[in-house]
Structure 1
């Protein structure tokens, strides 16, 4: 499997976060389409089939990620 460069993953994660902050799901058709494009690209770049798995995989492939990183665990309130 091809591995995406960490700079590509960083850019995709930043764009995903920005679009999520802007509530792209409820935005204009163009913003909504870009949000889905970024989600799809993250899945392809990480070899996953859903955005949650793609986000986890992308974050673990970034420089400085630790094997014991608990970012995949649900937050406990």
Structure 2
């Protein structure tokens, strides 16, 4: 599987988090559409099928991510 450059992942994560805050504040259709576009891009970039998994995978792929990070494990 191809891996996105860490700078690209960091940028996508930052954009998504910023838009999430903006959407929470004003809830505009334009903000929601941009969030959906970024969610799709994150999913394609990380090889996942939903934005929550994409966010976890992207964070896990960034430099400094701990190998023992259990955020990828599911709870019983």
Sort the TM-score into its range (normalised by shorter chain): 0.7 to 0.9
Mind listing any 5+ residue stretches in structure 2 that lack a counterpart? none
TM-score normalised according to structure 2 size: 0.84
Provide Cα deviations, 1:32-55, integer angstroms capped at 9, x if missing partner. 111100000000000000011101
Per the alignment, residue 50 of structure 2 pairs with: 50
Higher helix share: 2
Runs of 4+ residues over 3 Å off in structure 1: 70-74
Mind listing any 5+ residue stretches in structure 1 that lack a counterpart? none
Per the alignment, residue 3 of structure 2 pairs with: 3
How many angstroms apart in 1 are the aligned matches of 2:2 and 2:47? Answer: 9
Q: State the number of aligned residues.
A: 73
| RMSD after superposition | 1.8
